[in-house]
Structure 1
Amino acid sequence: MFSKIAAVTAALLLPLAPAPASAHQLRFEPISMAAAVNLLPLAAESRDGYQRTSFKHWVDADRDGCSTRAEVLIDESRVQPTIEPGCKVTAGQWYSFYDGVTVTAPGGLDIDHMVPLAEAWDSGASTWTPERREAYANDLDAETSLVAVTARTNRSKADQDPADWLPPLLDARCTYAADWVATKLRWKLTVDDRERTALAELAAGCGRQSVTYETAP
């Protein structure tokens, strides 16, 4: 799979015909990242009651024998990956766009939720059904939702939002911010004051960066 930095184009689309998969999904026409940030609803965050187990993740939603983690590894490998019985991915080539590192052993990779599970909880997912939280944690229908990155950068990010953490690779930051905004818009998640300010500052320095998303069913 080619580099996310090269591949990700932003877009916020004017409503078109719903995607065939769901009558409740809408796609939108491209607008600037700054305009997309302004669409994010503002609300105070609360982590009351959060448990990581509230989001069932790495499931095999389509029952093809491959977990969500394996599906991302297979999709994002730049070469044909080696897959052993049980859909165990043992080799490939992955570009971690957070830090610009190429990895060939999947053990060195984490699958990062672009908007971490705890942050999603803080931003509205606490009111969702368990089924919707599971869909969020295993969202394979949007390229921005899940990404294979080095374990080191994923763990340094932890559950922080862009006010407190950005990718160490400077060239990745506009793409990262656009993907963050796209994911929050896709799932109708809120932002707090510090997060919105950080995103607006990033947008101001990101030139023609745009955002693309499709609403989650």
Structure 2
Amino acid sequence: MLAVLLAPTTARAAEAERVAAPGDTVALPVRDALAALPVQTENRTGYERTKFRHWTDADHDGCNTRQEVLKTEAVLAPQQGSNCTLTGGQWYSPYDDKYFSDARALDIDHLVPLAEAWDSGASAWTAKEREAYANDLGDARALIAVSAASNRSKSDQDPSTWQPPAPGYRCQYATEWIADKTRWGLTVDPAEHAALTDALTSCADQPVTVTLAR
């Protein structure tokens, strides 16, 4: 089922979220998308990174999720050897506005970190749902190749405590964070909501189109 929903008001945005189902596509302005996300306090009780199995090879082509993202996001395609070993190539890390020619200098970041996902709803998911989240190749915004230094600086923080060092990427970061949380039906905490609201004041209220994963 395909449901494309355009909502100019926060009330209609919330209604769109209520009636949509996994596999549906929703489209609405980013500020309305933020307004539609439930605001709840977070709880990290029981979190372990191992509860999100990754990196897997879902299509059994010999390349795991990390390698698939590196191949997709390369600005200069690498050469692929045995066991999907990648050599050469070039990548752009939008977090810090830098180019890299060595895949080993890059991490594949979960835009919404695994711990943050756990805090905001994934603690109630099945193991298979968490695995699907950790290896989400169905939305290009979910996983992103970035410099190891910027990813480790970010760690498991949300936008209330961490922003990309490159100022020119911050509007896109906020928008894609909201899109990812919408896709997976996750909540936001009050500080996170306030930070995203503040970030969007200097950003265009662009439409966000998301295919719901759950």
Task: Name the CA shift for 1:117/1:65 in 2 (closer, same or farther; >3 Å).
Answer: same
Q: CA RMSD in A?
A: 1.5
Q: 2:97 aligns with which of 88, 96, 100?
A: 100
**Which residue does 2:212 correspond to in 1?**
215
1:188 equivalent in alignment to 2:185: yes
Find the residue that maps to 1:61 and give its secondary structure. Answer: coil
What is residue 111 of structure 1 aligned with on the other side?
108
Report whether the alignment pairs 1:129 with 2:126. Answer: yes
Shift of residue 86 of structure 1?
A: 0.4
Aligned counterpart for 2:5 among listed residues 14, 37, 51:
14
Residue 212 of structure 1 and its aligned partner are, at CA, apart by 2.5
1:57 corresponds to: 54
1:44-87, Cα deviation, whole Å (9 max, x unpaired): 10000000000001100111110000000000011221111000
One-letter amino acid of the structure 1 residue matched with residue 42 of structure 2:
E
| Paired letter, 2:100 | V
Any runs of at least 4 consecutive aligned residues in structure 1 with deviations exceeding 4 A, and if so which?
none
Contact 1:178 1:210 in 2 (8 A): no
Q: Do the aligned partners of 1:111 and 1:148 also contact (CA within 8 Å) in 2?
A: yes
Structure 2: state its 5+ residue gaps.
Answer: 7-20
Structure 1-normalised TM-score?
0.88
Question: How many residues of Structure 1 are paired with residues of Structure 2 in the alignment?
Answer: 198
Tell me how far apart the structure 1 counterparts of residues 37 and 172 of structure 2 sit (CA, whole Å): 17
Q: Does residue 143 in structure 1 map to residue 130 in structure 2? A: no
Contact 1:34 1:204 in 2 (8 A): no
Distance 2:22 2:47 in 1: 28
Q: Would the alpha carbon gap of residues 13 and 181 (structure 1) be closer, same or farther in structure 2, given more than 3 Å must change? A: farther
TM superposition shift of 1:89 = 1.4
Identity %: 50
**Aligned mates of 1:209, 1:164 — CA distance in 2:** 24
Question: Is 2:171 the partner of 1:174?
Answer: yes
Show CA shifts across 1:133-158 (max 9, x none): 00000000101100000000000000
More displaced 10-residue stretch of structure 1: 35-44 or 136-145: 35-44
Q: Which residue identity lines up with residue 143 of structure 1 in the other structure?
A: A
Work out the CA distance in 1 between the residues paired with 2:202 and 2:77: 37
1:204 to 201, 204, 211: 201
1:28 matched to 2:26: yes
CA contact (8 A) 2:31 2:205 kept: no
The offset of 1:214, in angstroms, is 1.1
For 2:22 and 2:177, locate their aligned partners in 1 and report how far apart those are by CA, in whole Å. 22
Higher helix share: 2
SS at match of 2:130: helix
